[in-house]
Amino acid sequence: MSGVNEIRSAFLDYFRKEGHEVVASSPLVPRNDPTLMFTNAGMVQFKNVFTGLEKRPYSRATTAQKSVRAGGKHNDLDNVGYTARHLTFFEMLGNFSFGDYFKERAIELAWNLITREFGLKKDKLLVTVYHTDDEAASYWKKIAGLSDDRIIRIATSDNFWAMGDTGPCGPCSEIFIDRGEHIWGGPPGSPEEDGDRFLEFWNLVFMQYEQVTKEERVDLPRPSIDTGMGLERMASILQGVESVFETDLFRHLIDAASSALGRGPDADAVASLRVIADHSRSSCFLVADGVLPSNEGRGYVLRRIMRRAMRHAQLLGARDPLMWRLVPALVREMGQAYPELVRGEQMITETLKLEETRFRKTLVRGLGLLSEATEKLASGDMLDGETAFKLYDTYGFPLDLTQDALRQRNISVNLAGFTEAMERQKEEARKSWAGSGDVATETVWFPVRENAGATEFLGYETEQAEGLIQALVRDGKTVDSAGKGDAVAVVVNQTPFYGESGGQMGDTGVISGDGFSIEISDTQKKADGLFVHLGKVANGTVKTGATVELKVDHARRTRLRANHSATHLIHEALRELLGTHVAQKGSLVAPERLRFDISHNKPISPDELEEVERMANEIVVQNSPVTTRLMSVDDAIAEGAMALFGEKYGDEVRVVSMGTGLHGAKANRPYSVELCGGTHVRATGDIGLVRIVSDSAVAAGVRRIEALTGEAARKHLDEQDKRLKAAAAALKISPADVPARVEALLDERKKLEKELIEARKKLALGDRSPAGVPAENETIAGVGFLGKAVSGVSPKDLKPLADAGKKSLGSGIVVVFGARAANNARRGVAGTADQAGRVNPQHLVGGAA
Ligand code: SER
Alpha-carbon distance of 33 to 50, in angstroms, equals: 13
Residue 799: what residue type? K
Closest alpha carbon to 693 in 678, 704, 682: 704
Q: First-to-last CA distance in the chain? A: 109
757 contact partners, CB below 8 Å, separation of at least 6: 793, 794, 797
* Distance between Cα 57 and ligand 1 center (Å): 23
Main-chain dihedrals φ then ψ at residue 267, nearest 5 degrees: -55, -40
3-class DSSP state of 751 = helix
| Closest atom of ligand 1 to CA, residue 74 | 4
Spell out, as residue ranges, where the chain has pLDDT lower than 50.
435-440, 767-774, 821-822, 826
Q: For ligand 1, atom 4, name the residue with the nearest CA.
A: 41
* Distance between Cα 149 and ligand 1 center (Å): 24
| Closest atom of ligand 1 to CA, residue 228 | 6
Best residue for ligand 1 mutational test, from 203, 204, 229 (most atoms within 8 Å of Cβ): 203
Helix (H) / strand (E) containing 574 = helix 554-578
Alpha-carbon distance of 113 to 120, in angstroms, equals: 9
Alpha-carbon distance of 241 to 237, in angstroms, equals: 6
Best residue for ligand 1 mutational test, from 205, 209, 211, 233 (most atoms within 8 Å of Cβ): 205
The counts of H helices and E strands in the chain are: 23, 33
| Closest atom of ligand 1 to CA, residue 92 | 6
10 contact partners, CB below 8 Å, separation of at least 6: 1, 117, 118
Q: For ligand 1, atom 3, name the residue with the nearest CA.
A: 228
Please, what's the largest Cα pairwise distance for the chain? 145
* Distance between Cα 834 and ligand 1 center (Å): 115
* Distance between Cα 203 and ligand 1 center (Å): 6
3-class DSSP state of 736 = helix
* Distance between Cα 84 and ligand 1 center (Å): 19
| Closest atom of ligand 1 to CA, residue 163 | 1
3-class DSSP state of 516 = strand
Best residue for ligand 1 mutational test, from 65, 204, 227 (most atoms within 8 Å of Cβ): 227
* Distance between Cα 169 and ligand 1 center (Å): 10
Look up the pTM and report it: 0.80
* Distance between Cα 46 and ligand 1 center (Å): 12
Alpha-carbon distance of 729 to 418, in angstroms, equals: 83
Alpha-carbon distance of 404 to 814, in angstroms, equals: 110
What pLDDT score was predicted for residue 776? 61
| Closest atom of ligand 1 to CA, residue 205 | 5
* Distance between Cα 251 and ligand 1 center (Å): 26
354 contact partners, CB below 8 Å, separation of at least 6: 630, 631, 632, 635, 652
Q: Is 195 exposed, middle or buried (0-12, 13-18, 19+ CB in 10 A)?
A: middle
* Distance between Cα 805 and ligand 1 center (Å): 108
**Residues flanking ligand 1, CB < 6 Å:** 41-43, 94, 161, 203, 205, 226-228
What pLDDT score was predicted for residue 772? 41
Best residue for ligand 1 mutational test, from 50, 62, 161, 163 (most atoms within 8 Å of Cβ): 161
Contact between residue 100 and residue 60 where contact means Cβ atoms under 8 Å apart? yes
| Closest atom of ligand 1 to CA, residue 41 | 4
743 contact partners, CB below 8 Å, separation of at least 6: none
Helix (H) / strand (E) containing 611 = helix 606-622
Alpha-carbon distance of 542 to 477, in angstroms, equals: 15
266-269-274-275 Cα dihedral, nearest 10 degrees: 180
* Distance between Cα 205 and ligand 1 center (Å): 7
Angstrom CA distances, 350 to 293, 356, 670, 690, stand at 12, 10, 17, 32
What pLDDT score was predicted for residue 824? 52
* Distance between Cα 162 and ligand 1 center (Å): 8
* Distance between Cα 416 and ligand 1 center (Å): 34
| Closest atom of ligand 1 to CA, residue 67 | 4
Q: For ligand 1, atom 2, name the residue with the nearest CA.
A: 228
* Distance between Cα 297 and ligand 1 center (Å): 24
What pLDDT score was predicted for residue 203? 97
